[in-house]
Chains A and B, each alone.
Chain A
Amino acid sequence: MSSVPLSLYLALALILFCIGLYGALTKRNIIIVLISIELMLNAVNINLVAFSKFGVMPSITGQIFALFVMAVAAAEVAIGVAILIALYRNRNTVNIDEVNTLKN
């Protein structure tokens, strides 16, 4: 079990994060974007847990933080979907490239 080295965990987290980043930056559908953001958060979680086990100073703090992140992610999704529904009602779209009012 302990034969899996830290670098593999980090590589997995990196791959996950990159997929999430790619999805968040390229997908038009806001739901996919939200899912991609979840992917990135989970990549972070993997990092936290991995460091709490194999880090220079192993401690339980990393795992606690992972739990925090999950709670924050859940809240974020709840608010995100709520905003999404409100947006859909107003604009009748869930495509992120049609939402560019930041320009003004």
Chain B
Amino acid sequence: MENAWIIPLFPLLSFLFLIFFGKRLKDASAYIGILLSLASFVYSLLVLFERFTSPTHKAESVWLTIGDVQLTAGFEVNQLNALMLVIVSLVSFLVHTYSKGYMHGDERIHVYYAYLGLFTFAMLGLVLSPNLLQTYIFWELVGLGSFLLIGFYFYKDEAKRAAKKAFIMTRIGDVGLLIGMILLFWQAGSFEYDEIFAAVEAGAISSTMITLTAILIFIGAMGKSGQFPLHTWLPDAMEGPTPVSALIHAATMVAAGVYLVASLFPLFTASETALMTVAIVGAFTAIFAASIGLVQKDIKRVLAFSTVSQLGYMMLALGSAGYVAGVFHLMTHAFFKALLFLAAGSVIHAVHTQDIEKMGGLWKKLRVTGPLFLIGTLAISGVPLFSGFFSKDEILIAAWAHGNTVLFWLAVVAAFFTAFYMFRLFFMVFAGESRTDMKHVKESPSVMTIPMVVLAVLAVVAGYVNTPWFGTFLGDWLTDGNPALGHGHIEGPAWIMIVATIVSLLGIFLAWLIYSKRSLARDWLGASTLYNVLYNKYYIDELYEVTILKVTKGISVLLRFIETFLVEGIVKGVAGAVSGLGHVGSKFQNGQIQRYGTVAFIGVAILIVVFTVTGGYLK
């Protein structure tokens, strides 16, 4: 555990190596990326096992000394960090492996693996950070990695735009994080998590300030985790390669926001208002994104909106003081959403389209991907015995126990939506008859299916680490020795579990009726106003277009006007005057002796006049 700092260095090594030598290695660069990410996974696993028995390890050294203030850098392995290390490195390793098949034949595969390495390094570094400043550095690096990977197909205009959008939208959130961080430093005098929590507990920070900083930091988390109203970048980010969507936009980067809130949890619990904000934003995002997911036609977009919705769930859990529930769902979601994305990638790889209207009947063709996708779908829908069921149940109980009745029912409806749209997706893609020519459809190679199998196993069993039936190991372990994080298990009425089950089964049944059995007309909603509103994602993008973008563009036009006519005018005027003067001056230097003579004579004449006048001879 003392050597945990080495974990992020493996992917960094992979990044540096592939940046410098990747061009010569070509396809072989995949093996380097896979090996090094495997190394960091194995090491993370060791660290996790060691963390079960030994206490939190923290090592720091002074990085900067400014006056009396010392800024430290180091790493910390507490329960949350150790868990996140394993999740991130595992998903990263699986995505590395999967990409070997998915990106096969791509000319820039070495660049792709280099970016994956950079991203994994940033995420692991973020997870290990013991203070806010270091977190912020890696936070930005994660944003950079995401930008590079979303824009990997930079020759595609949409990919370029999506990359820029993702970067700018998350930057908006980062401003909040930065301000919150600076305020905290000002109030607590340190970036260290421990010292901040100590200051909060000691009442050294006024409650208004705690609320303010918590909400500002939450804005940062909103940007990264795609919470309303900063969610619009996430669906667009699907322009990146599909394994990237699995890694970044399902399992790790978007989880960074949730992780940030979780690691600053004592700060949030100190302010009821901040918690309430987190819960409301989370619950609203959950149902908002789920309702959009109902009608999307692009397989990756449905998954993207479900990610936004599930992240909303996690935020709702954290906002309801359900620390364990939030982290638990973060873990299970990482597994089943990565599985779903990889399976979606496998489908896209096979049929070369993302439009679910054009798919169908793939169950018979994709004998491996199909069942794996079904497992992921069952898990996310919250069907009993799958991992998503337990974690979603925890969240609902947390929301109920915290007294957020309205938010609880919102979450239940969102769960219904989730089950419905996920099975809509499943039936549209796999059930029924093929809607296009599917002769050439082949199952993906085993290098792609094996990572999915691993994730599928985890998507099933990951839930059993924290169940009300067999014990709440994860919860007890996470909150062990840290009463600020709440109890390992929150008791809730038993009917919640039954309601959740009924709701998810109802959603599945409805989807089956409409999309598989077709006993209900498919377009019962189609063409209506509501459908259009949902299909166009509540026109949020358009709203930003006409409000923020128009205003920004207006300001930029104004500034540009000032730039061209005022600033540039002055500069050009000065330069023009000087060069004009030079031009006139150069007229005299034409080499003609007579011109020189004339100038000299005029000069003498002027001198004489001047001296005559000043000397008083002119009366």
A residues sitting closer than 8 Å to B (CB atoms) are 21, 24-26, 33, 96-97, 99-104
Among the listed stretches B22-30, B195-203, B588-596, which one makes contact with chain A, having 4 or more residues with CB under 8 Å of it?
B588-596
Q: Are A100 and B597 in contact (CB under 8 A)?
A: no
Q: Are A104 and B591 in contact (CB under 8 A)?
A: yes
Instruction: Enumerate chain B residues within 8 angstroms of A26, measured Cβ to Cβ.
Output: 594
8 residue pairs, one from A and one from B, having the closest CB atoms: A103-B591, A100-B591, A102-B591, A25-B594, A25-B597, A25-B598, A100-B592, A103-B590
> Smallest Cβ distance from A97 to chain B, in angstroms?
6
Q: Whose C-beta in chain A lies nearest to the C-beta of B586?
A: A103
Interface of A is mostly: helix
Q: Are A102 and B593 in contact (CB under 8 A)?
A: yes
> Smallest Cβ distance from A63 to chain B, in angstroms?
26
B residues sitting closer than 8 Å to A (CB atoms) are 589-594, 596-598, 601
Contact with A101, one of B591, B598, B601 (Cβ below 8 angstroms)? B591
Of A21, A25, A99, most buried by chain B (CB within 10 Å of CB) is: A25
Q: Whose C-beta in chain A lies nearest to the C-beta of B598?
A: A25
> Smallest Cβ distance from A94 to chain B, in angstroms?
14
Q: Are A96 and B591 in contact (CB under 8 A)?
A: no
> Smallest Cβ distance from B253 to chain A, in angstroms?
67
Q: Whose C-beta in chain A lies nearest to the C-beta of B596?
A: A102
Q: Are B594 and A24 in contact (CB under 8 A)?
A: yes
Interface of B is mostly: helix
Q: List 25 A-B contacts (CB under 8 A).
A: A21-B601, A24-B594, A24-B597, A25-B594, A25-B597, A25-B598, A25-B601, A26-B594, A33-B594, A96-B592, A96-B594, A97-B592, A97-B594, A99-B593, A100-B590, A100-B591, A100-B592, A101-B591, A102-B591, A102-B592, A102-B596, A103-B589, A103-B590, A103-B591, A104-B591
> Smallest Cβ distance from A91 to chain B, in angstroms?
14
> Smallest Cβ distance from A38 to chain B, in angstroms?
16
| Alpha-carbon separation in the docked complex, A33 to B598 (Å) | 13
Q: Whose C-beta in chain B lies nearest to the C-beta of A24?
A: B597
Instruction: Enumerate chain A residues within 8 angstroms of B601, measured Cβ to Cβ.
Output: 21, 25
| Alpha-carbon separation in the docked complex, A27 to B287 (Å) | 97
- Extra 7 A-B pairs, beta carbons < 8 Å, given A33-B594, A102-B592: A97-B592, A100-B590, A100-B591, A100-B592, A101-B591, A102-B591, A103-B590
Instruction: Enumerate chain A residues within 8 angstroms of B592, measured Cβ to Cβ.
Output: 96-97, 100, 102
> Smallest Cβ distance from B586 to chain A, in angstroms?
10
| Alpha-carbon separation in the docked complex, A103 to B591 (Å) | 4
| Alpha-carbon separation in the docked complex, A21 to B597 (Å) | 9
| Alpha-carbon separation in the docked complex, A97 to B598 (Å) | 14
> Smallest Cβ distance from B400 to chain A, in angstroms?
94
Instruction: Enumerate chain A residues within 8 angstroms of B590, measured Cβ to Cβ.
Output: 100, 103
Instruction: Enumerate chain A residues within 8 angstroms of B593, measured Cβ to Cβ.
Output: 96, 99, 102
> Smallest Cβ distance from A12 to chain B, in angstroms?
20
> Smallest Cβ distance from A57 to chain B, in angstroms?
21
Instruction: Enumerate chain B residues within 8 angstroms of A21, measured Cβ to Cβ.
Output: 601
Instruction: Enumerate chain B residues within 8 angstroms of A102, measured Cβ to Cβ.
Output: 591-593, 596
> Smallest Cβ distance from B345 to chain A, in angstroms?
72
| Alpha-carbon separation in the docked complex, A96 to B596 (Å) | 13
Instruction: Enumerate chain B residues within 8 angstroms of A24, measured Cβ to Cβ.
Output: 594, 597
| Alpha-carbon separation in the docked complex, A97 to B601 (Å) | 18
Instruction: Enumerate chain A residues within 8 angstroms of B591, measured Cβ to Cβ.
Output: 100-104
| Alpha-carbon separation in the docked complex, A101 to B592 (Å) | 8
> Smallest Cβ distance from A40 to chain B, in angstroms?
11
> Smallest Cβ distance from A10 to chain B, in angstroms?
15
Q: Whose C-beta in chain B lies nearest to the C-beta of A30?
A: B593
Q: Whose C-beta in chain B lies nearest to the C-beta of A97?
A: B592
Q: Whose C-beta in chain A lies nearest to the C-beta of B600?
A: A25
> Smallest Cβ distance from A47 to chain B, in angstroms?
16
| Alpha-carbon separation in the docked complex, A59 to B590 (Å) | 45
Q: Whose C-beta in chain B lies nearest to the C-beta of A28?
A: B594
| Alpha-carbon separation in the docked complex, A103 to B587 (Å) | 11
> Smallest Cβ distance from B182 to chain A, in angstroms?
63
Instruction: Enumerate chain B residues within 8 angstroms of A97, measured Cβ to Cβ.
Output: 592, 594
Instruction: Enumerate chain B residues within 8 angstroms of A103, measured Cβ to Cβ.
Output: 589-591
| Alpha-carbon separation in the docked complex, A97 to B592 (Å) | 6
Instruction: Enumerate chain A residues within 8 angstroms of B589, measured Cβ to Cβ.
Output: 103
| Alpha-carbon separation in the docked complex, A16 to B594 (Å) | 19
Instruction: Enumerate chain B residues within 8 angstroms of A96, measured Cβ to Cβ.
Output: 592-594
| Alpha-carbon separation in the docked complex, A101 to B590 (Å) | 9
| Alpha-carbon separation in the docked complex, A60 to B592 (Å) | 40
Instruction: Enumerate chain B residues within 8 angstroms of A101, measured Cβ to Cβ.
Output: 591
Q: Whose C-beta in chain B lies nearest to the C-beta of A27?
A: B594
| Alpha-carbon separation in the docked complex, A97 to B594 (Å) | 8
Instruction: Enumerate chain A residues within 8 angstroms of B598, measured Cβ to Cβ.
Output: 25
Instruction: Enumerate chain A residues within 8 angstroms of B596, measured Cβ to Cβ.
Output: 102
> Smallest Cβ distance from A51 to chain B, in angstroms?
18
> Smallest Cβ distance from A32 to chain B, in angstroms?
12
